[in-house]
């Protein structure tokens, strides 16, 4: 795929330590508009910690974060949101007992001139963003607990993009979903890509990454083993990166690579 010259976001030489142990060790990754980058690695590899630095949950000890070539400061989740960075966690963080509109505007409710909740305006705006994202969504009046897993993902994604997210962090978006719902999430991601939104996809599922991501980054022991276009590597080569830290010929080695494959 063709990439813009300037990445949407760059994380350069990022490090963070907890109790003297480096959870992320001089890691660098980037993301372009309309691109999905899959982050892979065993539990404890550093991928979730790296992304939590981007989302403002952790403050880095070292390194730079740039958006469209300009250095930015992200010290808390509010900073990240102001820069158009939204995180969709595996739990989705939805309020199960209320409908899609109430979830979309949770904590940011619209009010009438009389100070009451403007339910009509919130539902109208919710219908607009859901139609743009998932035209088949019809269950606007139901509590989200009654929605399918794919529909719940639609609501969580709509909440993020409605408030002008340019960078989405998706944590295991298809976990515990069936084949039909997984396909629905795949369609949602394609729509987001078409709108120029960049996505970091954290997943343990290689099939997810190969189906949804343009590139992948493998981490091990806090370091980047390597990065590759999904079209340039196969499943076995990526498993070798994850398990042994070996970088195949189709990947660009990072500081965490042990050696290049022959």
Question: Do 251 and 202 belong together in one domain?
Answer: yes
| Domain-terminating residue out of 149, 165, 181 | 165
159-169 residue pLDDT tens: 888 888 899 99
Question: Do 149 and 175 belong together in one domain?
Answer: no
Question: Do 3 and 119 belong together in one domain?
Answer: no
**Domain at 27, CATH number:** 3.40.50.300
Q: Where are the beta strands (DSSP E) in the chain?
A: 9-18, 21-31, 36-40, 62-67, 70-72, 85-88, 167-171, 198-202, 215-220, 223-229, 252-253
Question: Do 123 and 185 belong together in one domain?
Answer: no
pTM of structure: 0.87
Question: Do 151 and 174 belong together in one domain?
Answer: no
Question: Do 79 and 174 belong together in one domain?
Answer: yes
**For every one of its 262 residues, what pLDDT tens digit does the chain have, with 9 covering 90 and above?**
445 589 999 999 999 999 989 999 999 999 999 999 999 999 899 999 999 999 999 999 999 999 999 999 999 999 999 999 999 887 778 899 999 999 999 888 999 999 999 999 999 999 998 888 888 889 999 999 999 888 888 898 888 888 888 999 998 888 777 788 788 888 889 889 998 999 999 988 898 899 999 999 999 999 999 999 999 999 999 999 999 999 999 999 998 887 544 4
What pLDDT was estimated at residue 100?
94
Question: Do 43 and 160 belong together in one domain?
Answer: no
- Is 90 a member of any domain? no
- Is 159 a member of any domain? yes
Q: What share of the chain is helix, strand, coil (3-state, %, to 5)?
A: 35, 25, 40
Question: Do 107 and 196 belong together in one domain?
Answer: no
Question: Do 76 and 182 belong together in one domain?
Answer: yes
- Is 89 a member of any domain? no
52-66 residue pLDDT tens: 999 999 999 999 999
For the chain, the domain total comes to 2
Q: Which domain holds residue 155?
A: 96-165
Question: Do 159 and 183 belong together in one domain?
Answer: no
Residue written as token pair 């539902």: 123
243 Cα distance to chain centroid:
23
Token code pair at residue 19: 């109790």
What pLDDT was estimated at residue 98?
95
How far lies 144's CA from each of 47, 106, 132, 157, in Å?
30, 13, 19, 13
Question: Do 48 and 102 belong together in one domain?
Answer: no
Question: Do 153 and 196 belong together in one domain?
Answer: no
């Amino acid at each position: 795929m063709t990439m813009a010259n300037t990445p949407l976001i760059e994380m350069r030489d990022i490090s963070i330590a907890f109790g003297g142990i480096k959870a992320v060790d001089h890691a660098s990754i980037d993301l372009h508009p309309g691109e999905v980058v899959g982050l892979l690695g065993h539990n404890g590899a550093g991928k979730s910690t790296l992304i939590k630095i981007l989302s403002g949950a952790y403050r880095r000890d070292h390194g730079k974060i740039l958006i469209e070539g300009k250095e930015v400061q992200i010290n808390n989740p509010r900073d990240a949101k102001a820069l158009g960075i939204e995180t969709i966690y595996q739990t989705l963080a939805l309020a199960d007992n209320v409908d899609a509109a109430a979830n979309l505007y949770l904590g940011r409710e619209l009010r009438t001139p009389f100070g009451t909740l403007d339910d009509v305006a919130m539902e109208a705006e919710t219908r607009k963003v859901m139609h743009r994202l998932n035209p088949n969504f019809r269950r606007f009046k139901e509590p989200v607990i009654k929605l399918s897993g794919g529909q719940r993902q639609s609501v969580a994604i709509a909440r993020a993009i409605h408030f002008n997210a340019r960078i989405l962090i998706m944590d295991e978006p298809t976990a515990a979903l069936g084949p039909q719902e997984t396909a629905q999430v795949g369609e949602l991601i394609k729509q987001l890509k078409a709108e120029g939104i960049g996505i970091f996809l954290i997943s343990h599922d290689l099939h997810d990454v190969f189906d949804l991501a343009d590139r992948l980054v493998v981490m091990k022991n806090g370091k980047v083993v390597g990065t590759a276009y999904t079209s340039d590597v196969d499943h076995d080569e990526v498993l070798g990166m994850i398990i042994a830290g070996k970088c195949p010929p189709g990947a660009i080695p990072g500081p965490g690579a042990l050696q290049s494959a022959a």
